[in-house]
Chain A
Amino acid sequence: MSSWVLYALSGMAMFSVGLVGLFAHRHVVKRILASNIMGSGVLLVLVALARRVPSGAPDPIPHALVLTGIVVSVSSTALGVALARRISRLQSTESDSSRSSPEGP
């Protein structure tokens, strides 16, 4: 078995683990992690496929796509994290006010 097959299978296994995790977990941070893992899996498959032709240098087009993909996945993670922070802030103010309002400050 050539090494690209190995890495392609590994990438697909990562994607599957991430997808199952995305459905299985309800916590926001776990879901962000799961979607990141899915992304890494897809990128690994792409880079492995770039290595498919045994002779010569790897195909540069998937490499460029993967570079773009990593940057886009970081931005989506950052947006997700910002939303998570907002949610937890809203929830904590909500619980604070509901806890403190009957008994005063």
Chain B
Amino acid sequence: MMDALLDGGLALSLPFLAWLVLHTEALSQAVVLFVAMGLMSALAWARLEAPDIALVEAAVGTGLTGALLMHTLSWTEETAPEAHTRATRWVWDILAASALTGVLGWAVLALPADSLGLGPEVTARLADSGVEHPVTAVLLNFRGYDTLLEIAVLLVAALGARAVNPRTERPSLETEDDPLTGELFRMMTPAVLLLAGYLVWVGAHGPGGAFQAGAILAGGGVVAILTTRLGTPRMSSRRVRWALLMGPLLFVAVAVAPLFRGGRLLEFPPHLAGTLIFVVELALTVTITLVLLMFFPGVRPPKVEREGTP
């Protein structure tokens, strides 16, 4: 009974929050509601027995995206100009959304109910994968292509974001004078490092892995950028470039190596699979942390000297 109530409440609140996000006038309010919606969906994923996804959603989907969006608000005006709409348009919006939901719901509920999916197949071959956690096995062994290409997407997005805004904003000086934030960062650092290390290690046995660890490290890094004098990592530095490329290069090397012994792409030898997956995950953690950090544009300089154009 309580379970049904919780599920029903969550399932109702998610679309409602989404609606509120898109229909509040103040943008900062919309972003706060968006973060609330992300936390609710992390709860929903925990209810659906997907702890891996709940972790990543809470850290990346909600934390980092929320920080990014909040940060963007200081560049744009506060109220969306077209927010003062008439009530009749709301009615049309609701009608359109419900009609679409109906059609999609009919399509999804008409799926054959007796198909078992690929779950049994994964469980049958889990012993060959080198790890014990099925999601990690799928991510890094059975569907290694996905993860490899995902890293490529991350790198391309980071390069694109940097190419559009090449100037890194220097942090303003008043942030470092605040004793509270510096102390907070010093206290937080060991906990963040420990948690990230644990998550990489535990990925082989249970929920955790490179993405969760990278997200947590990047979250700590964002706090560091905001509270200390550290700037965002610069693409011009050779060390940053190597650290960025380490994950993808190592992954490609591990993927290509079997070809020289007559194997297939991304085919790990079973006795080495566990070690290889761990090494690749460590390297990927470094790359993911850096990429997620580079998405963050740094502290906005004071408004007076924002535009240096004569």
Q: Is B278 an interface residue (CB 8 A)?
A: no
B68 touches A44 (CB 8 A): no
Which one of A13, A18, A84 has the greatest number of beta carbons of chain B within 10 Å? Answer: A13
B56 touches A67 (CB 8 A): yes
Q: Is B139 an interface residue (CB 8 A)?
A: yes
Which one of A34, A53, A75 has the greatest number of beta carbons of chain B within 10 Å? Answer: A75
Q: Is B185 an interface residue (CB 8 A)?
A: no
Q: Name the contact of A8 in the complex, choosing from B23, B37, B47, B108 (C-beta under 8 A).
A: B108
Specify the main secondary structure of chain A where it touches its partner.
helix
Q: Which residues of B does A touch, CB under 8 Å?
A: 3-4, 7-8, 10-12, 14-15, 18-19, 21-23, 27, 30-31, 34, 37-38, 41, 44-45, 47-50, 52-53, 56-57, 60-61, 64-65, 68-69, 71-73, 75-76, 80-83, 89, 93, 96-98, 100-101, 104-105, 108-109, 111, 113, 116-119, 122-123, 134-135, 137-139, 143, 146-147, 150, 153-154, 156-158, 160-162, 164-165, 211, 288, 291-292, 295, 297, 306-307, 309
B100 touches A19 (CB 8 A): yes
With both chains docked as a complex, state the minimum distance between the C-beta of A57 and any C-beta of chain B, in angstroms. Answer: 7
Q: Name the contact of A7 in the complex, choosing from B7, B89, B109, B292 (C-beta under 8 A).
A: B7
Q: Which of A56-80 contact B (CB under 8 A)?
A: 56-68, 70-79
Q: Name the contact of A74 in the complex, choosing from B72, B138, B292 (C-beta under 8 A).
A: B292
A77 touches B80 (CB 8 A): no
Q: Which residues of A does B touch, CB under 8 Å?
A: 3-21, 24-30, 32-34, 36-37, 40-41, 43-45, 47-53, 56-68, 70-79, 81-86, 88-89, 92-93, 96-97
Q: How far is the CA of A61 from the CA of B8 in the complex (A)?
A: 26
Q: Beyond A44-B44, A79-B160, is A63–B50 a contact (Cβ under 8 Å)?
A: yes
- 18 additional A-B residue pairs with CB within 8 Å, beyond A21-B18, A67-B52, A67-B135: A7-B11, A16-B15, A16-B100, A21-B22, A30-B22, A30-B30, A44-B41, A45-B108, A53-B119, A62-B117, A63-B50, A64-B139, A65-B146, A70-B53, A71-B288, A77-B69, A79-B164, A88-B75
Q: Name the contact of A12 in the complex, choosing from B49, B104, B162, B164 (C-beta under 8 A).
A: B104
- Which residues in A have their C-beta under 8 angstroms from that of B146? 64-65, 68
B65 touches A36 (CB 8 A): yes
